[in-house]
Amino acid sequence: MRLLILQFCSTTELVHEIVTEINSGTLKSRPYSEAIYIGIITDTGNFSHGNYSSRTFRIVADLLETGIEKEKIINLIYNNFSAQRLRLQGFALNKRMVVIPEFQSAYIYLTKNDLVVYNHVKGDTEGFVNMPLSIKGIIFSAFFIEKESFIKISFRSKGSFPVNEFAAEFSQAADI
């Protein structure tokens, strides 16, 4: 038996591979294509990070051929924020981002009060963890957000920094 190991940019790409294998080829349903396209672009930050490959782009090309409205989807996902969300983002970058160049790292934190001041609604902080990675020389980013009874932490990295290993060690050290 030969074992084939594939890498996927997202769970969505894996699901697509399984569904198309089960159905003996690419599905041409527009709702299905939209769902897979949305999953791939959101999991890769619209192809700005992730483990995408030429196979990923072939899948996306097949999805686009089903007639999905790429621009409409992009606008609904990435260009559909409230003014308060943008103000929160500006505040987070200006007042709550800490850059640690000697460790090629940066983090952002937001308190419960910050969220109240900016009328935070669920989803407003999506993607905030990725923003420090656009700083030259930064390869690791963390985002801390104070919730009612806990602090939610997100980690991201670029390049060869093993963020999954860091997260595992962090959770062990914090006894999470």
3-state SS, residue 14: helix
Any idea of the CA torsion for 125, 130, 135, 137, to the nearest 10 degrees? 150
Bridge partners of 43, per DSSP, are none
Cβ contacts of 175 within 8 Å, gap of 6 or more: none
Cβ contacts of 45 within 8 Å, gap of 6 or more: 127, 130
121 to 26, 111, 151: CA distances (angstroms):
37, 14, 17
- Provide the pLDDT for residue 128: 95
Q: Which regions of 85-148 does DSSP assign to beta strands (E)?
A: 97-100, 105-110, 140-146
Any idea of the CA torsion for 126, 131, 133, 138, to the nearest 10 degrees? -130
- Provide the pLDDT for residue 95: 98
3-state SS, residue 92: helix
Inter-residue contact 97 to 108 (CB < 8 Å): yes
The CATH number that domain 83-173 falls under is 3.10.310.30
Inter-residue contact 39 to 59 (CB < 8 Å): no
* Domain spans in the chain, listed from the N-terminal domain onward: 11-78, 83-173
Cβ contacts of 58 within 8 Å, gap of 6 or more: none
pTM: 0.74
- Provide the pLDDT for residue 3: 46
**pLDDT, one tens digit for every residue, the chain (176 residues):** 454 556 777 788 888 888 888 887 767 789 999 999 999 998 888 887 777 888 889 989 999 999 999 999 999 988 889 999 999 999 999 999 999 999 999 999 999 999 999 999 998 998 899 999 999 999 999 999 999 999 999 999 888 888 888 888 888 787 66
For the range 152-159, what are the long-range contacts, defined as Cβ-Cβ under 8 Å and sequence gap of 24 or more? Answer: 154/129, 155/129, 156/49, 156/129, 156/130, 157/133, 158/49, 158/133
